[in-house]
Structure 1
Amino acid sequence: MEVEESSEQISILNGTEQNTATEAIDEAPTLMEESELFQDAVIELGRRLWKSSPEKQHYTKGCLWSPDGTCILVPVHLDGMHVIELPRDLYLARTMSATRALSKLDTAVHVREGGTVYDYVWYPFMSSLAPETCCWLASRQHEPIHMWDAFTGELRCTYRGYDSVDEVEAAIAITFSNNGEQVIGGYKKSIKLFDTNVPGRALSSISVKQAVSCFALTTDNDSTVTTGSWNGFINHFDLRAPKLGPLFTLGGHTGGITWLRYAALTESDSWLLYSGARKDNKILEWDMRNYLKPVREFRRTVETNQRIYFDLSAPEQRWLVSGETGGNLRIWDLHNNIDEAVPLHGDCCNGVNFHPSLPILATTSGQHHFVDSAEDEDLQIIKAKSEQAEIIINYENALRFWWIGKSVVDDGETDNLL
């Protein structure tokens, strides 16, 4: 494992910068006003690009803001995981000028994980004011679950799941329990539970008949967990009854489930679940208290097997956003039943994530591009064709920050987005 740190390390690491970030975190607005979002044209705040080629494609695989909003985690195919911090002038921003200079988003911590990163999640109570809480989990091919330090990029510990022949098995999906005391791993044939404070082997295991592809937890019941599967079904389990099997199973998607999200993650009283699947052009909304059929259906364009993330604004869940294969950002106003597609990327928009307190949206782009060189057996010819393909293929592997709140333009007017 190699760690790469830029000169601008995560804010609280260095002297005077620590004080500045601490004050900014303390004074920052607690939550954005959802009624003010997407009323003006979005403004790009910052950008980070990764170079790519047909031989070694470095495309992003989504993004996830830290719970305190100071930085964002971005896995990149064949390039590990990058922690990138929020530009400091945005901590206390309430409005944004359309003429603001674009920020260069440099990597603060780079963990060079080999292989494919299956899933990742921040510790739910992560705060830059408490360094011991600054960590995330990641699962990758052929490896146990790793916990990484967000300041140094060092490996803190591992959580190891074993298969039926006592060999280490990689978790396909991972999450923390709501209270952060348990690590939950989803495997091909089981759900394994680990004590966060006691790394090592799983404490308990629940057998499943369908491989777990993703998790969602409702704050209304800490003893249950909802899982997606590559078979296209959604299962709901009670962790207190490991031999009972799923309490119920939902169908409705044509592809494997890639992402699940409960509404009202910061409040109780909601059992609304949103689900998306690969090569499936719909997001389904379920009421898990009456799950016979979806409540609503939202249309988007998903033409690949990769995970295309969606996200809900908080705390009212007025806005639902999703990436699309063509590079659009799809936006739904759930209160007024309005939707709009906004072209933001030149390649597949695979990741979207609302900042936890500011009117800022992070998006990522990129996908695997297939280059057909099987007709030529001469390696030099193949190489030459690949170099040409790099110019022809429109690679855009990017992380971009967008201001989605109130904006100020030179002529005093604003353009309404929705």
Structure 2
Amino acid sequence: MKLNLKIRWQVDSAFLRSPRTVTLCLSGKSNEMDDSVNLSVSMGDVEASMLNHNVSFSSTMVTSAGDLSLPKLSMTLTEAELLKLRSRCPKNGVDSPNASVAMETSVGVATAQEDVEAKEESVVDLEDTLEMTSNGNQVKPDVDPAADSEADPADYSVPEYFKGSIVELARRCWTSSTEAQHYTKGCYWSPDGTCLLVPIHLDGMHVMEVPADLYSTPAVPSTRPLSKLESAVHVPEGGTVYDCVWYPQMNSLQPETCLWLATRQHEPIHMWDAFDGSLRCSYSGYDAVDEVMAAISLAFSHDGEKIYAGYKRCIKIFDTSRPGRLCDDYPVKFAISCIAQTTAHPNTLTCGNWHGYIQHFDLRCSHKQGPLFTLGGHKGGITQLRYGEIGAGEWHLFSGARKCGKILQWDMRNYKKPLVELKRHVDTNQRIQFDFTADGHWLASGGTWGSVNVWDLQNCGDPTILPLHSDCCNGVALNPAMPILATSSGQFHFTDQSTPRDNVTLNGSETTELPASDEVHQNQREVIYENAVVLWWCGPTG
């Protein structure tokens, strides 16, 4: 008689909220990115390589086409892997070569009662597989790059930013007309650093890939030829895109995780596929008269199981695996313009509003209690909030606002006043992005004057000003896996359409006039500005 032993661990939202939490991060290429984008499971006896080959998705989401996708994360151990797991010696850590044979023989000669007892004892307790430190934190498995024959040692090195000269890698431009101005509205790197999402006004959203030669080079020569960025995916969605966000567990090696959310005017929240640009599903928010409302801001929970959508008078919380209109409402007094959250406190949200205030909510409390605290300091509406872990357990909040020439850094342990005020030029109402590296060393921000300001947060000195654009630099994003800086430029320009001719500007400088006699130019007068997205190498140069 042969006993088939199989273990299936299902990690659901209820278990993640328990004190015994197993963190599964599937937001990067396996063995190719840094620790923030690798699958890390803190288990004492289970090998990480074995878990990497047994991560599967059991779909629970129904798309518009009737397909199933984006499930809850689960793992399954085969019989051979289970025998390997049970045959390991816990005292000296050396595998016994005859352990698997002995176990299979003993199972084959066991009686029926012994089979039942063996089956009950074969269930591995999850607590027994966790190696804990003295303070209760899980110990990450040590990864030896030399032990993995398929791993490249360069993949394990932490990217070094702003160590040499800035080299332009690739560029993509859009032309505009007085009838339809196509300008960028920021740029967003995917969590694994392989794709760049760029919303374009009146031209939908574009997904662009990193040039292939940059994956294998530790340094880029200053004479590298300029590449032309092409759209791998184009979603020609009309109207104004209010906000978009990548799925935090996105991994290019697993297509089911390659997706992003976007919200635009008069439309529900749409989930888009990053491989073919298809619409996967929608999340609809309705008002008191049962009409669809457009979300102003979006955010995923760090585990990807929840979607936080900011509306004019409430925060709607959707289950990612359950599209539609079913959600939880958390009423607020002001319109939520941006949302941020820390990994240490998954039940709280930090939200900004158009009145210039930053409010911190505990979703476990009644909405009648109001925010836990409110921060001021900006003179305009809050456009962006970002949390950064500066040091061990020190969460700092960075905030930016429209028509406000400063980025405020808050220590969340003492939030009576900001720690540092970082100066920048913001003269318009549009969102001017800022971003920082994963180690909290560098912070970069755009500005309406076209320059990129870079601060060394460890020294807190004056910024380094990089004049990279001649028009408004509205988007700044640092690649999480490679020392690549992505910037986007452009803004709305007021033009007089009643005049028979318009001045053409290129890169912000006035050049010549269009002929008014040409009927084509009379019907569609072209006004060219620097509406571009550019990739810059900010690491070591050869």
Please give the TM-score of this superposition, normalised by the length of structure 2.
Answer: 0.67
User: Do structure 1's residue 262 and structure 2's residue 387 form an aligned pair?
Assistant: yes
| Aligned 8 A contact 2:472 2:491 in 1 | yes
Distance 1:263 1:23 in 2: 24
With over 3 angstroms needed to count, the CA separation of the structure-2 counterparts of 1:132 and 1:255, relative to structure 1, is same
Provide the secondary structure at the position in 2 that maps to 1:347.
coil
Of residues 267-276 and 345-354 in structure 1, the stretch that sits farther from structure 2 once superposed is: 267-276
Equivalent residue number for residue 533 of structure 2: 399
| Aligned 8 A contact 2:357 2:381 in 1 | yes
Question: How do 1:186-205 residues align onto structure 2 when only pairs under 5 Å count?
Answer: 186-205=310-329
Deviation for aligned residue 1:203: 2.2
Equivalent residue number for residue 527 of structure 2: 390
Q: Which amino acid aligns with 2:158?
A: M
Distance 1:22 1:369 in 2: 44
2:378 to 253, 257, 280: 253
| Aligned 8 A contact 2:407 2:421 in 1 | yes
Please give the TM-score of this superposition, normalised by the length of structure 1.
Answer: 0.86
Deviation for aligned residue 1:129: 1.0
Provide the secondary structure at the position in 1 that maps to 2:256.
helix
2:232 to 108, 115, 118: 108
Distance 1:372 1:242 in 2: 51
| Aligned 8 A contact 2:196 2:209 in 1 | yes
User: Do structure 1's residue 329 and structure 2's residue 452 form an aligned pair?
Assistant: yes
Deviations 1:301-350 (A, max 9, x none): 00110000000111x20101000101101010111223111100111000
Deviation for aligned residue 1:264: 2.7
Deviation for aligned residue 1:384: 6.0
1:155 to 275, 279, 289: 279
User: Do structure 1's residue 29 and structure 2's residue 164 form an aligned pair?
Assistant: no
| Aligned 8 A contact 1:218 1:270 in 2 | no
Deviation for aligned residue 1:271: 2.1
Equivalent residue number for residue 12 of structure 1: none
User: Do structure 1's residue 81 and structure 2's residue 205 form an aligned pair?
Assistant: yes
1:237 to 357, 361, 375: 361
Deviation for aligned residue 1:38: 1.5
Question: How do 1:211-360 residues align onto structure 2 when only pairs under 5 Å count?
Answer: 211-243=335-367, 244-264=369-389, 269-314=393-438, 316-338=439-461, 339-360=463-484
Equivalent residue number for residue 73 of structure 2: none
Equivalent residue number for residue 148 of structure 2: none
Runs of at least 5 residues in structure 1 that lack an aligned partner in the other structure: 1-20, 409-418
Distance 2:398 2:376 in 1: 13
Deviations 1:245-289 (A, max 9, x none): 211111100000000000039x97232000000010000001122
With over 3 angstroms needed to count, the CA separation of the structure-2 counterparts of 1:396 and 1:169, relative to structure 1, is same
With over 3 angstroms needed to count, the CA separation of the structure-2 counterparts of 1:268 and 1:205, relative to structure 1, is farther
Percent sequence identity over matched residues?
57
Distance 2:237 2:216 in 1: 34
Distance 2:235 2:497 in 1: 32
Provide the secondary structure at the position in 1 that maps to 2:298.
strand
Higher normalized strand content (fraction of residues): 1
With over 3 angstroms needed to count, the CA separation of the structure-2 counterparts of 1:22 and 1:89, relative to structure 1, is farther
Q: Which amino acid aligns with 1:125?
A: Q
Distance 1:146 1:31 in 2: 36
Equivalent residue number for residue 162 of structure 2: 38
Provide the secondary structure at the position in 2 that maps to 1:29.
helix
Distance 2:381 2:520 in 1: 35
Deviations 1:372-401 (A, max 9, x none): 34578xxx899968977726xxx1111111
Distance 2:489 2:218 in 1: 27
1:142 to 266, 276, 281: 266
With over 3 angstroms needed to count, the CA separation of the structure-2 counterparts of 1:30 and 1:114, relative to structure 1, is farther
Deviation for aligned residue 1:22: 8.7
Distance 1:365 1:359 in 2: 20
User: Do structure 1's residue 66 and structure 2's residue 194 form an aligned pair?
Assistant: no
Q: Which amino acid aligns with 2:184?
A: T
| Aligned 8 A contact 1:220 1:268 in 2 | no
| Aligned 8 A contact 1:371 1:386 in 2 | no
1:367 to 488, 491, 494: 491
| Aligned 8 A contact 1:207 1:245 in 2 | no
Relative contact order, CA 8 A, sep 6+: which one is greater? 1
Distance 1:247 1:22 in 2: 39
| Aligned 8 A contact 2:176 2:526 in 1 | no
Deviations 1:48-74 (A, max 9, x none): 111112221110011111111111100
Larger radius of gyration: 2
